[in-house]
Structure 1
Amino acid sequence: MKKKLITWSNATTVMLALTMIIVLISPQAKAIMIEGLMKIGLFKPPAANTEPEVTVAGSANTAPSLLLKDQFGKTINIKDEKGKVLFINFWATWCPPCRAEMPSINELYARYKNNPKVMILEVDADNDFSKSVPFMKDNKFQLTVYNTASAMPEGFLGNALPTTVIIDKSGTVAARHEGGADYTDKAFYSYFDGLINK
Structure 2
Amino acid sequence: MEKVKITQKKADAIEYLLKVRGWSRESIALGEIKRDAQWVDGTPEEGMRGFLDEELLKALYIGYEAEPEFKENDWVTDIKTGKIARIDHRGYDGELAWVDDDEKNFFDSPRHSTPSEIAEEKERRFFAEHGREPWELKKNDILNDRRENCTVTIAKVIDKEVMTVLFTNGDWEFYNNIVEDSDWRVACFADKRLDVKTNE
TM over 0.5: no
Please say which structure displays the higher CA radius of gyration.
Answer: 2
| TM-score (normalised: structure 1) | 0.20
The structure with the greater share of residues assigned to strand is 2
Query: Which structure dedicates a bigger proportion of its chain to helix?
Result: 1
